Structure 1
Amino acid sequence: MDIVEATETALAAATHLTPMDDGAVESLRALARKIQAWDVIVAFALEDAAEKGGRPAVPQHDNVSLSAYSSLSEQLGLTPMGRKKLELREAKQGGKLNAVRSVAEQRQKSTARRTRSAPRV
């Protein structure tokens, strides 16, 4: 399984995510695609450098994307530590977290009702 597939599997299993997390989820997907493509990008850069007799146009190691991916995964509760932190936060502030989720769900339902009841032209 590659990192893109693993990310999609983890996201599908993460039932705690809400539409408010969509931006972070898409950022995680973009990072997964970048990490997976990195070896191909480096191979092309090395080939170009060998043909031109210079240094590669990109560094051989991306030391930012993996740490950003790990951090974002944890923030979304997709790692053991992230799930642990999320459970602790829910236990301490369950009322606030549930209230925010409830408001988000009510807004979604309200938007869906308005969309269905809007007059058709």
Structure 2
Amino acid sequence: MNSLLKIITIFSAFFICSCLNFYTSSLLNDNEIDKKYIGLYEAGITTTDSYNITGNALVSVTISSGGVATVNISGGYISFLNNIYKEDMVKLSDNSYSASITSSGYRYYFTFTFSDYALNFYFDRNDGTRGSGNLTKVR
């Protein structure tokens, strides 16, 4: 009888742990960008480097159904092309997200704020370079 009680307790513990793990994993998916914002957003933005010199760059952001944001910044002194995965996203509000990733030795901090057909885009790099602009949904 004592061994039967131990076996039931062990199986119960495994069951509870697996349920908690499933619940935790589903919470992480809440940071995924809402599917209604899927599409391609593009525009020119204003950038400022660490010496306060302003420039222009072309930005395209593609939001895919898998929760991946592909960010391409090119122009002037900035060249960035990278994917930001849903695991790196932090949901700030219903339409606003932030993320930070490292690329080519720099740490980039992004903020994405969506409206119906636009994306307010902001980035800040750990060397003081920053940029912002309003991107239009192309498709």
Structure 2 length as normaliser, TM-score?
A: 0.21
Bigger proportion of residues as strand: 2
